[in-house]
Amino acid sequence: MMAETLTIGKALNTGLRRVMERDPKVLIMGEDVGKLGGVFRITDGLQKDFGDERVIDTPLAESGIIGTAVGLAIRGYRPVCEIQFDGFVYPAYDQIVSQVAKMHYRSQGKVSLPIVIRIPFGGGIGAVEHHSESPEAYFAHTAGLKVVSCSNPDDAYWMIQQSIESDDPIIFMEPKRRYWEKGQVNVDTASAPLHVSRVVRTGADATLLAYGPMVRTALDAATAAAEDGRELEVIDLRTLSPLDLGPVYESVRRTGRAIVVHEAPGNLGLGSEIAARITEECFYSLEAPVLRVTGFDTPYPAARVEEEYLPDLDRVLDAVDRSFGF
């Protein structure tokens, strides 16, 4: 087993390179993805090595990027579209929900659209308006789309390859403030299939559920809670649509408590669906209601005000205390 230490950003870059080497039908397209290598340098060096017909700098037109990808996918290509920042995806929303999500169903399975739409999402980088959003619930709600989110370098490396090789359209959510965090990557064997959740820390007292940028926050909270004698189990959901809640149910039936953590606003967020399903499946095992720690029901604030908005270790630990208060 060969392992390398990579950042999440470099793991994504390396994963993209590997799949492009294997399959000449894989194309990358987006704003500044070529010569610049993307604003976060995720596609750095790929245009130099694969040419400007496979790594394509597009006009600043998200609807055009996705619309072009639909045509390319129908013709047998596997386009990977980068949305430069999460808040820029909305001009492409019509194409995504009206065409990308529905073409396979509309054609009774005759047409597949193997399109991956990469979206750096979440806050924590002190950006201006439209540069920090958590739009995952829009896409998870849309039948015909699959939605995944990596939280560590190993998953970044493998999940981007698995997504591109899938025949389904996939929204690939990348935790932008975690791009520079390092970790071990097993470059020989994938540690998990694409659409499964995974226990990343075991514990017997309560279950923390998170995805993307909040997995690190949940793990930090579990470490802090251990100093007070509480062992928290942490599950990285990884796949937001379809949700893989089997490991979640198994955990909650043991711990009796569940707290869901995400950056997006609480109203109709992923946490609402997860809480409902846990309640349906684990009602007689619960010692307390399923609690949520989320962003507030306001637009993402800009710059340093994010620090007041984003769930942090203290808010997660407060929810754990509330759970044990029942």
- In the chain, the amino acid numbered 43 is T
Tokens of 219: 């793990």
Choose, from 104, 131, 195, 262, the residue flagged as catalytic.
Answer: 131
Distance (Å, whole) CA 262 – CA 300: 13
Tokens of 17: 């390179």
* Residue 293: closest CA among 273, 324, 314: 314
Q: In angstroms, what CA-CA distances link 64 with 29, 59, 91, 231, 317?
A: 11, 8, 9, 49, 44
307 sits in the region (left: phi over 0; alpha: psi -120 to 50; else beta) called alpha
CB-based burial of residue 241 (10 Å sphere; 0-12 exposed, 13-18 middle, 19+ buried)? buried
Q: In angstroms, what CA-CA distances link 283 with 257, 269, 290?
A: 11, 21, 10
Tokens of 133: 């959003």
Are 206 and 233 within 8 A, CB to CB?
yes
Rg, C-alpha atoms of the chain: 19
104 catalytic? Reply is: no
- Tell me which H or E stretch contains 49: helix 46-50
- In the chain, the amino acid numbered 291 is L
Q: Point out the residues that are catalytic.
A: 131
